[in-house]
Chain A
Amino acid sequence: MSDGLDSYAPFVGAAVVDEIRLLGDQLRGRHVQHVNSTAVGGGVAEILNRLAPLLREVGVDTRWDVIRGGEEFFAVTKKLHNMLHGQALDLTARDRTVFEETTAQNLETLTLSDDIVFIHDPQPVQLIGARPPGSKWLWRCHIDLSAPAPAAWEFLRPWVERYEAAVFSAPQFARELAIDQSLVAPSIDPLADKNRDLDAATVDEVVQSLGIDPGRPLVTQVSRFDRLKDPVGVIEAFRLARKYNDCQLLLVGGSATDDPEGQQVLAECRDRAAGDHDIHVVELPPTANVEINALQRASTVIVQKSLREGFGLTVSEALWKGKPVIAGAVGGIPLQITHKYSGILTHTVEGTAFWIKQLLNAPDFARRLGENGREHVRQNFLLTRHLRDYLLLFLYLGHQGQSLVSLG
């Protein structure tokens, strides 16, 4: 994608773009190096792919390196990831050795920046052991650290506390640390295929290709087939709501061929929906961004009935399309939805059913929720806000301990 910063002005206003350029001017020529563990796939790579060129455009000399590791290393980091999410596993002496050896191997080939090094997630955390003198280091945590297995956190914490600051996505994901912490929420890109405007013909084509009736209300949940997204609960809620309203349900998610539990949940959903022509259970490839975008735009109500969630950016994606969203009040979702103002927060199947029914019967209220939700996303969860927060964070590194900094 080659969209420059000015392409965002129609969404956020020229003043926001001007402010970003002003901040970039203050950092002109500074070297910032991002390091993570994957170049493609996953939210971190997706966001860096968009942010890195924009940072360069505003004057920050940005590079992005990816650490390498063998299967054994990534098995350890996967285990660490699961432990940080609370799974009671054990980090063995061998695991620690593999982690340290992989860090050492990467340090042989990586040239570390002398200005700012921005490390993403636990995998490259130990690189700080080779910090060049005078450089400033940030550790960006994209995961929920609210209840980690103690062994994982005790392994990670001493490394994290060597950084200048840690950056978390939401207050409830953070931990007490001896270093400064900053909150930077993730964002969606309004120009990405997943979010950009689509013409009516494209939307119709996708809807009809899946056998969905474009003339009847459509309730949709977009998510992986994962028990924590409660797709079966969505089917139950839909059936309760349908007693009083003519409507269809669409459960659509990315392909899960490498995830045995995902396949099981998908099969369970198909089983529950069997013989019911109003329920569509659709598995799409992970690249089907335009299709997902079209299906969200074709929906009357969008549901995200998660039982546990990270930040839950699919909610912002749905709100950005101006749709009324009913979502579980978990993880980062309450930061995106204010109940009965910019969407609906629910806790149960019955509550979800009640609100599906209400929104189908009160289209004006539903429309207002969608409008308020889109405005909330426009102000808080678009890529430009993310970019501005990172620029401010870089500036802050040169002024730690000050509350008012005059520049220019």
Chain B
Amino acid sequence: MEAVSFVLPTGHRATTLGEFASSLAKVGHASVAYHLFEARLRAAGDDNDFSRWLAQELDEQELAAAIRKLDPYTHTLDGLRHRLSALVAARVNR
């Protein structure tokens, strides 16, 4: 049994936290799964794409750490998206 992943640009781009929040609401489950689940298998470091980007590009260390702590195996993909959105919204509104 093996899986084949196809990766293609969705057209959703974010350069700020606000754009990130808006894109999170629009992308499909596959995008969330790719950046949270597959990233850990793909990257040399055991990190997800969102946390890495938030820490490195926006210097959002606290938010990156909170997302890193999410256990993707205990949520549905919808649930994960809601948790992510809530974490980002809390940071934006702080």
- Known interface pairs A15-B27, A19-B30; A405-B9 also in contact (CB < 8 Å): no
Contact with B along A384-408 (1 / 0, CB 8 A): 0000000010011001001111111
Are A395 and B28 in contact (CB-based, < 8 A)?
no
Residues 40 to 59 of chain B near chain A (Cβ within 8 Å): 42
> How far is A408 from B9 in the complex, measured between Cα atoms in Å?
6
Are A402 and B4 in contact (CB-based, < 8 A)?
yes
Note all chain B residues with C-beta closer than 8 A to A404: 4-5, 7, 42
Q: Is B90 an interface residue (CB 8 A)?
A: no
Residue of chain B at shortest CB distance from A181: B1
> How far is A141 from B30 in the complex, measured between Cα atoms in Å?
27
Note all chain B residues with C-beta closer than 8 A to A395: 6
CB distance from A348 to the nearest CB of B (A): 33
Q: Is A52 an interface residue (CB 8 A)?
A: no
Are A399 and B27 in contact (CB-based, < 8 A)?
no
Q: Is A179 an interface residue (CB 8 A)?
A: no
Contact with A along B1-20 (1 / 0, CB 8 A): 01111111111000000000
Are B2 and A403 in contact (CB-based, < 8 A)?
yes
Are B10 and A405 in contact (CB-based, < 8 A)?
no
- Known interface pairs A14-B26, A15-B27, A15-B28; A22-B10 also in contact (CB < 8 Å): yes
Residue of chain A at shortest CB distance from B32: A15
Taking residues whose C-beta sits less than 8 angstroms from the other chain, chain A's interface range is: 20 to 34
> How far is A407 from B7 in the complex, measured between Cα atoms in Å?
6
Residue of chain B at shortest CB distance from A17: B28
Total A-B Cβ pairs within 8 A: 45
Are A22 and B8 in contact (CB-based, < 8 A)?
yes
Q: Is A18 an interface residue (CB 8 A)?
A: yes
Residue of chain B at shortest CB distance from A396: B4
CB distance from B93 to the nearest CB of A (A): 24
- Known interface pairs A18-B10, A22-B10; A405-B28 also in contact (CB < 8 Å): no
CB distance from B30 to the nearest CB of A (A): 6
CB distance from B3 to the nearest CB of A (A): 7
Q: Is A26 an interface residue (CB 8 A)?
A: yes
> How far is A403 from B42 in the complex, measured between Cα atoms in Å?
11
Q: Is A16 an interface residue (CB 8 A)?
A: yes
> How far is A407 from B26 in the complex, measured between Cα atoms in Å?
20
CB distance from B8 to the nearest CB of A (A): 4
Specify which of B5, B9, B10, B11 is in contact with A403 (CB 8 Å cutoff): B5
What residues of chain A have their CB less than 8 Å away from a CB belonging to chain B? 13-16, 18-19, 22-23, 26, 392, 395-396, 399, 402-408
What are 25 of the A-B contact pairs (CB < 8 Å)? A15-B26, A15-B27, A15-B28, A18-B28, A22-B8, A22-B10, A23-B8, A26-B6, A26-B8, A396-B4, A399-B4, A402-B4, A403-B2, A403-B3, A403-B4, A403-B5, A404-B7, A404-B42, A405-B4, A405-B5, A405-B6, A405-B7, A406-B7, A407-B7, A408-B8
Please give 12 more A-B residue pairs, beta carbons under 8 A apart, in addition to A403-B5, A408-B9. A13-B28, A15-B29, A18-B28, A19-B30, A26-B8, A392-B6, A399-B4, A402-B4, A403-B4, A404-B4, A404-B5, A406-B8
